[in-house]
């Protein structure tokens, strides 16, 4: 288990890390080698005898369990680590990365997803659903960051994509953010690397989903189709199949909007037939007087 950082400025272990953990066996793709090295280093320096002993036992177990081919495959990467970065956690991460290594073609394909989003924008997402876009993009950028293939250019691309849609109250926010980000970027040659880019993108997507939720709940998310989305909670499917946490306020607001639109459509159909139908002036069509 690798604990998540809650205060990166803290100098002691119990203040730096929270209670939330990531299972390296099950969710290793949610971590980067930088984060695992940092955790291993902190354990080795401040973790105490029990934690250091557990790390050493895990390392010994993994070394004894791996085939010689697998050990040879990660030997150089492990030996190039700093002394305090070596341990069970870093060795396990390198094993997982080696076994499920991402090919160049996969990296190129994932980068194209970000480039396409930058070009087409949120307008090309079903229902212009920001929750759906954020979910897809998060998976992509985390995968790229894991193999250190996420550039700071991707940050601007995500902002550009969020600025292309039908709801100006939403898009204008990210047009400004994109302009400001690129302005700062051109004034410095510093690049924070994949992890910095990932943090910035996740922050941007969190802001986007929060704004989307606020606009939708306030009945201010109007797109050409006339509907917010299919699912009243997230927009991707029937609400009974939604896997996201239920936002009852948003569900009720979208349900009310759907019912109002349904009434309007029913009224329109009713008024277009029978005695309430539209009356045409026969003279405009060459008809004679009665």
Boundaries of domain holding 59:
2-99
Asked whether residue 288 carries a pLDDT value surpassing 60, the answer given is no
Query: What is the residue-averaged pLDDT of the chain?
Result: 78
Q: Does residue 68 sit in the same domain as residue 168?
A: no
* Domain edge (last residue) among 186, 215, 244: 215
Buried b (16+ CB within 10 A) or exposed e, 90-108: bbbbbbbbeeeebeeeeee
CB 32 within 8 Å of CB 195: yes
Across 234-258, average pLDDT: 68
Mention every residue, 6+ apart, whose C-beta is less than 8 A from residue 164. 120, 121, 122, 123, 171
Q: Does residue 86 sit in the same domain as residue 109?
A: no
Percent over 90 (pLDDT), the chain: 18
Query: Where residue 28 falls among pLDDT bands split at 50, 70, 90?
Result: confident
Q: Quick check: is 225 in a domain?
A: no
Match 């396990």 to its residue by tokens. 92
- The residue among 199, 183, 121 whose CA lies nearest residue 158 is 121
Q: Does residue 113 sit in the same domain as residue 93?
A: no
Asked whether residue 226 carries a pLDDT value surpassing 60, the answer given is no
23 is written with which tokens?
Answer: 């299972």
Q: Quick check: is 222 in a domain?
A: no
d(CA 190, CA 29): 26
Q: Quick check: is 45 in a domain?
A: yes
Predicted pLDDT at 202: 93
Q: Quick check: is 273 in a domain?
A: no
Q: Does residue 211 sit in the same domain as residue 108?
A: yes
Predicted pLDDT at 209: 93
Query: Where residue 265 falls among pLDDT bands split at 50, 70, 90?
Result: low
d(CA 194, CA 141): 9
In tens, the pLDDT along 151-183 reads 888 999 999 999 999 888 999 999 999 889 888
In tens, the pLDDT along 169-221 reads 999 999 999 889 888 876 665 556 788 889 999 999 999 999 999 888 888 88
Q: Quick check: is 157 in a domain?
A: yes
- The residue among 73, 36, 72, 74 whose CA lies nearest residue 55 is 36
- Where is average pLDDT lowest: 1-5, 162-166, 260-264, 276-280? 276-280
Q: DSSP states of the chain as a string?
A: -EEEES-TT-SSHHHHEEEEEE-HHHHGGGS-HHHHHHHHHHHHHHSHHHHHHHHHHHHHHHHHHS-HHHHHHHHHHHHTS-GGG-SHHHHHHHHHHHHTPPPHHHHHHHHHHHHHHHHH-GGGSGGG-HHHHHHHHHHHHHHHHHTT---THHHHHHHHHHTSSS-HHHHHHHHHHHHHHHHHHHT-----HHHHHHHHHHHHHHHHHHHHHHHHHTT----TTS-S-SSSSSSSS-GGG--SPP-HHHHHHHHHHHHHHHHHHHHHHHHTSGGGSPPP-GGGGTPPP-
93 is written with which tokens?
Answer: 């991460």
CB 235 within 8 Å of CB 127: yes
Predicted pLDDT at 118: 92
Match 């005898």 to its residue by tokens. 49
Q: Does residue 81 sit in the same domain as residue 141?
A: no
Q: Does residue 184 sit in the same domain as residue 132?
A: yes
Query: Where residue 255 falls among pLDDT bands split at 50, 70, 90?
Result: confident
Q: Quick check: is 289 in a domain?
A: no
d(CA 122, CA 174): 11
Mention every residue, 6+ apart, whose C-beta is less than 8 A from residue 242. 231, 233, 234, 236
Percent over 70 (pLDDT), the chain: 79
Q: Quick check: is 257 in a domain?
A: no
In tens, the pLDDT along 61-115 reads 988 888 888 888 888 888 888 888 888 888 888 888 877 776 677 788 889 999 9
Q: Does residue 108 sit in the same domain as residue 68?
A: no
Q: Does residue 61 sit in the same domain as residue 111?
A: no
Q: What total of structural domains would you count in the chain? A: 2
Q: Does residue 89 sit in the same domain as residue 109?
A: no
């Amino acid at each position: 288990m690798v604990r998540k950082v809650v205060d990166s400025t803290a100098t002691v272990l119990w203040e730096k890390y929270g209670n939330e953990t990531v299972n390296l066996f099950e969710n290793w793709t949610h971590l980067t080698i930088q984060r695992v090295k940092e955790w291993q280093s902190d354990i080795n320096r401040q973790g105490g005898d029990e934690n250091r002993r557990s790390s050493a036992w895990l390392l010994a177990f993994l070394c004894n369990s791996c085939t010689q081919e697998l050990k040879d495959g990660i030997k150089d990467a492990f030996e190039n680590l700093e002394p305090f970065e070596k341990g069970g956690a870093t060795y396990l991460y390198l094993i997982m990365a080696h076994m499920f290594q991402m090919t160049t073609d996969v990296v190129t394909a994932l980068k194209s997803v970000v480039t396409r989003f930058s070009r087409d924008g949120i307008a090309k997402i079903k229902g212009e659903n920001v929750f759906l876009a954020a979910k897809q993009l998060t998976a992509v950028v985390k995968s790229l960051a894991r193999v250190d293939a996420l550039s700071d250019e991707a940050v601007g691309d995500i902002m550009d994509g969020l600025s292309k849609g039908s709801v100006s109250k939403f898009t204008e926010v990210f047009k400004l953010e994109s302009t400001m980000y690129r302005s700062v970027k051109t004034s410095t040659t510093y690049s924070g690397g994949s992890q910095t880019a990932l943090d910035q993108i996740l922050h941007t997507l969190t802001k986007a989903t929060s704004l989307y939720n606020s606009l939708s709940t306030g009945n201010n998310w109007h797109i050409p189709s006339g509907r917010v989305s299919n699912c009243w909670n997230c927009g991707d499917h029937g609400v009974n199949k939604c896997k996201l946490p239920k936002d009852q306020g948003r569900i009720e607001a979208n349900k009310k909007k759907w019912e109002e639109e349904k009434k309007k459509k029913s009224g329109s159909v009713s008024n277009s037939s029978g005695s309430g139908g539209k009356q045409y002036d026969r003279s405009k069509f060459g008809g004679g007087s009665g």
